[in-house]
Amino acid sequence: MNLAIEHVTKKYGNHHAIDDISCEFSNGVYGILGANGSGKTTLMRMLATVTTPTAGIIRVNGKNILSLGDDYRDMIGYLPQHIGLYKNFTADKFLHYIAALKGLSKKEAALKIEELLDLVNLMDVRKKKVGTFSGGMKQRIGIAQALLNDPKILIVDEPTAGLDPKERIRFRNLLSSISGERIVLLSTHIVSDIEFIAKEVLILKNGRLLHKRNPQELLHEIAGKVWLVTTAESEIPRYQDMFKVGNIVRSESRVELRIISDDRPSLAAILTTPNLEDLYLYFFEEDFDAGPVKV
Amino acid sequence: MLGLLKFELYKIYKQKSIYILFALLIAIISTGGWIDRSSEKVIYQGYQKWEGKLTAEKINKLDRIREDGNKKSDTGQEFTFKEHLLYSISMVIFQQTNFTEERNKEITQLKEKIQQTPLSYKKRQDELKKDMLSSIDTSDFYYPKGPAIMLDMIYTFGFVITAFMTIIGIGPIFSKEYSSGMDQFLLSSKYGRSKAVTAKILASLLFILSVIAMWSLYSVARSAYSFGLHGWKSSIQSVIQFLESPYPFSLSSAFTLMMMIHVIAALAFGVLVVFISAVSKKVIVSVLTSGVIFGLPLVLDTVLDYGGTKKVWVDRFISFSIYQFMKVKELFVGFRTYNFFGYPVLQPILAVILSFLTIILFWFITQWIMKKKQITV
Ligand SMILES: Nc1ncnc2c1ncn2[C@@H]1O[C@H](COP(=O)(O)OP(=O)(O)O)[C@@H](O)[C@H]1O
Ligand SMILES: [Mg+2]
């Protein structure tokens, strides 16, 4: 399976939500990392054919996805960022409906739904109306519907938003367990979602693709730029003014700051091994969101 | 396909609003129409004596009754119930025989005209009218109250019920998907842009048929209860609203035909509403737009009927509106034809053709739009 994005641009009015992006995907998990408004959703919508590029072509195995039409849609599973559900449908009914939309026979659907409800741990609420579901449950049923047709290309847009840390881990494991024979595209602005499962990370900023590399190579990019500084609590504002400050760890009277900087921020600073969070901070200084604590 | 159809039907019938609206509409029309059966029975017995062939003998007798009645009413004398009933029967028959005479006169005139005019649209039109008028058979008379009430239901309340239920029940069919975010699933799934659209249209049409079935069953039940199921052999001209109708129908064929036309026009309106919903981001926009398309000609028609003369183009606009097609009545009250390459096409036939064209056209456009559709928010 080969998915290729060729010079794709999406404009809303004069604004480039996606600006001339080209890249290729083969089987495996890809993390699309970017701050809010960087164009993740727009890119995924084009991949899901719910919106069309202003310019450029997306091909699967060499064929334009828009000419493939329903045949392409048969290959994909899509979990939108903001999912709408029929409030009055039970989980079961909702999944049966999506299965019908995806062209599964009633028998196939029943089997698959059984399997997926188990996978996303919603078996005991299958007869409950989705209107009563919590954010996390909605997200999980969203994942289940995306997987109904055993998609060769799975497109999930910020799937971990609204999940608690435990659900998050469960979801991460779920994704990596099903990623074998398919392309999984996962967008997030939370680094820990993709840190260990992504084959490659795409860094999106203002609609442009800054990087597409495997996490190790990306980390290489900021090797020698991540520092630990131990200092007094009162010094924090001064460092925050001058540098990109990540984690702050407090211990008794002292604090340890994690600083991303090309130059040594202070004489006492010591170099440390970069992680993806540092990378994110490096690229997206503004709205930094390290996500929940890693467990 | 069947699976998708079931889901679409389920979604339509799951809407509480349609039940509330239907109950409300039925409640409104139930305020009248269920009448005192015993007095109706006496009236029917009064008419029964005169049913069947209107012989010269019957007509003579009724003429005398009418003249006596006229004298009585001129001098201000009281009628007994029986006298009054007989008097009204004589009036009804008088009106009809009068009109039969006038019709015969018109047929003679038309024949003369046809001989004088060269082959043309006008001549064909006259020939058509002459043939239709000659086929009218009012020599039999049957008490037509029951069928008349059922016909009446179509063009007083029935068509409004169908339209309102369609607007409320079908108006959200696509726009609700857009506003709820479900469109993302529809538009990214294998059949969401094709079979699901067909399923939505079919479900809408089935819903409309069920609505029509419901109110017409109600109407038949009410009419059968109050007036019995007789009088169907009488001519359409025996119902006062159609006294001047040039269509040679018995009440049974008129009712069947008018119901069929109502159904076809209603389906056309249904497909139109589905289309409007497909291009409306919000339910309220979809519902209001459909409401205006149906309601504007209705309001114009009602207002202008009281306000006097209509401009020609307004009249055209109203007579070609979906409102008029669904109401059916006006298609049959007079003789109206349209010139198609020199041949006259009767208005009801044109209405049916236009309704079918509407169905085909907007069905096709809706499928096409959904193929190309991008999500809206
Ligand atoms: N339907 C739309 N109309 C206008 N602008 C849009 C629309 N969708 C997205 N945008 C703009 O495109 C940019 C990218 O948005 P989006 O793809 O949602 O980013 P992300 O998912 O990374 O938060 C933003 O600036 C957003 O305001
Ligand atoms: Mg987004």
Q: What is the ipTM of this complex?
A: 0.85
Put simply, the answer to whether A70 touches B193 (Cβ < 8 Å) is yes
Cβ of residue A17 lying under 6 Å from some atom of ligand 1: yes
Cα separation of A24 and A59, whole Å?
9
- pLDDT of residue A10 exceeding 90, the answer is yes
Residue B331's pLDDT band (cuts 50, 70, 90): very high
Whole-number Å distance, alpha carbon A38 to ligand 1 midpoint, is: 8
pLDDT confidence of residue B255: 95
Mean pLDDT of chain B: 90
Cα separation of B112 and B259, whole Å?
36
User: Phi, psi (5° rounding) for residue A151?
Assistant: -65, 145
User: Phi, psi (5° rounding) for residue A214?
Assistant: -75, 155
Residue A293's pLDDT band (cuts 50, 70, 90): very low
Cα separation of B327 and B30, whole Å?
20
pLDDT digits (tens, 9 = 90+) for B195-220: 999 999 999 999 999 999 999 999 99
Please compute, for residue B30, the number of CA atoms within 13 A of its CA located in the half-sphere on the CB side: 9
Smallest Cβ–Cβ distance between A84 and the set B7, B181, B192 belongs to B181
Among A105-114, A210-219, B154-163, which stretch is predicted with the lowest mean pLDDT?
A210-219
Give the burial string for B297-324 (b: 16+ CB within 10 Å, else e): bbebbeeeeeeeebeeeeeebbbbbbbb
Integer CA distances (angstroms), B212 to B161, B216, B263, B281, in order:
8, 6, 8, 28
Q: Angle A199-A201-A202 (CA atoms, 0-180°, nearest 5)?
A: 140
pLDDT digits (tens, 9 = 90+) for A231-251: 888 888 888 888 888 888 888
DSSP A222: T
- pLDDT of residue B13 exceeding 90, the answer is yes
Among B216, B231, B64, B87, residue whose Cα is nearest residue B145? B231
Q: Which residues contact B57 (CB under 8 A, 6 or more apart)?
A: none
- pLDDT of residue A292 exceeding 50, the answer is no
Helix (H) or strand (E) holding A237: helix A236-242
Smallest Cβ–Cβ distance between A145 and the set B7, B185, B187 belongs to B185
pLDDT digits (tens, 9 = 90+) for B27-49: 988 876 566 777 788 888 888 88
Mutate-to-test residue for ligand 1 from A42, A52, A208, highest number of ligand atoms within 8 A of CB: A42
**Cβ(A234)–Cβ(A67) below 8 Å:** no
Among A110, A128, A105, A147, residue whose Cα is nearest residue B4? A105
Among A50-64, B223-237, B296-310, which stretch is predicted with the lowest mean pLDDT?
B296-310
Residue B306's pLDDT band (cuts 50, 70, 90): low
Task: Render B189-207 in DSSP notation, one character per residue.
Answer: STTTTTHHHHHHHHHHHHH
- Atom number in ligand 1 closest to CA A42: 17
Cβ of residue A53 lying under 6 Å from some atom of ligand 1: no
- For the segment A141-164, the average pLDDT, to the nearest whole number, is 90
pLDDT confidence of residue A23: 94
pLDDT confidence of residue B225: 85
What percent of chain A shows pLDDT beyond 90? 48
- pLDDT of residue B193 exceeding 70, the answer is yes
What percent of chain B shows pLDDT beyond 90? 58
Contacts A80 to B, Cβ<8 Å: 181, 184-185
Residue B163's pLDDT band (cuts 50, 70, 90): very high
Chain B interface includes A176 (CB < 8 A): no
Task: Please classify residue B107 by burial: count the beta carbons closer than 10 Å to its beta carbon, then call 0-12 exposed, 13-18 middle and 19+ buried.
Answer: middle
- pLDDT of residue A285 exceeding 70, the answer is no
- pLDDT of residue B98 exceeding 50, the answer is yes
Integer CA distances (angstroms), A209 to A34, A38, A40, A217, in order:
10, 10, 10, 16
- pLDDT of residue A287 exceeding 80, the answer is no
Chain B interface includes A143 (CB < 8 A): no
Name A66's bridge partners: none
Put simply, the answer to whether A100 touches B183 (Cβ < 8 Å) is no
Cα separation of A49 and A69, whole Å?
8
Position of tokens 């409030």?
A87
First to last CA, chain A: 34
- For the segment B62-86, the average pLDDT, to the nearest whole number, is 82
- For the segment B344-364, the average pLDDT, to the nearest whole number, is 96
Residue with the bigger pLDDT between B61 and A155: it is: A155
Task: Please classify residue A39 by burial: count the beta carbons closer than 10 Å to its beta carbon, then call 0-12 exposed, 13-18 middle and 19+ buried.
Answer: buried
Q: What is the 3-state secondary structure (H, E, C) of B280-317?
A: CCCHHHHHHHHHHHHHHHHHHHHHHHHHCCCCHHHHHH
**Cβ(B114)–Cβ(B123) below 8 Å:** yes
- pLDDT of residue B307 exceeding 70, the answer is no
pLDDT confidence of residue A289: 43
- pLDDT of residue A291 exceeding 50, the answer is no
Put simply, the answer to whether B188 touches A52 (Cβ < 8 Å) is no
Q: Angle B173-B197-B377 (CA atoms, 0-180°, nearest 5)?
A: 60
pLDDT confidence of residue B253: 94
- Atom number in ligand 1 closest to CA A35: 22
Domain ranges of chain B: 2-35+143-376, 52-141
Contacts B187 to A, Cβ<8 Å: 48-50
User: Phi, psi (5° rounding) for residue B232?
Assistant: -70, -20
pLDDT confidence of residue B228: 82
Among A102-111, A141-150, A221-230, which stretch is predicted with the lowest mean pLDDT?
A221-230
Cα separation of B294 and B322, whole Å?
6
Smallest Cβ–Cβ distance between B190 and the set A50, A73, A145 belongs to A73
- pLDDT of residue B75 exceeding 70, the answer is yes
| Structural tokens at position B95 | 């009106």
User: Phi, psi (5° rounding) for residue B3?
Assistant: -60, -50
pLDDT confidence of residue B377: 67
Put simply, the answer to whether A80 touches B14 (Cβ < 8 Å) is no
> Which of B185, B194, B281, B369 is the best mutation test for A, with the most CBs of A within 10 A?
B185
- pLDDT of residue A286 exceeding 60, the answer is no
Task: Render B268-282 in DSSP notation, one character per residue.
Answer: HHHHHHHHHHHT-SS
Instruction: Rank A192-206, B34-48, B170-184 by mean pLDDT and report only the highest.
Output: B170-184
| 3-class SS of residue B16 | helix
Residues 152-181 of B with CB under 8 A from A: 177, 180-181
Q: Domains in chain A, please, with CATH?
A: 3-219 (3.40.50.300), 222-294 (no CATH)
Mean pLDDT of chain A: 87
Residue B355's pLDDT band (cuts 50, 70, 90): very high
Put simply, the answer to whether B189 touches A51 (Cβ < 8 Å) is no
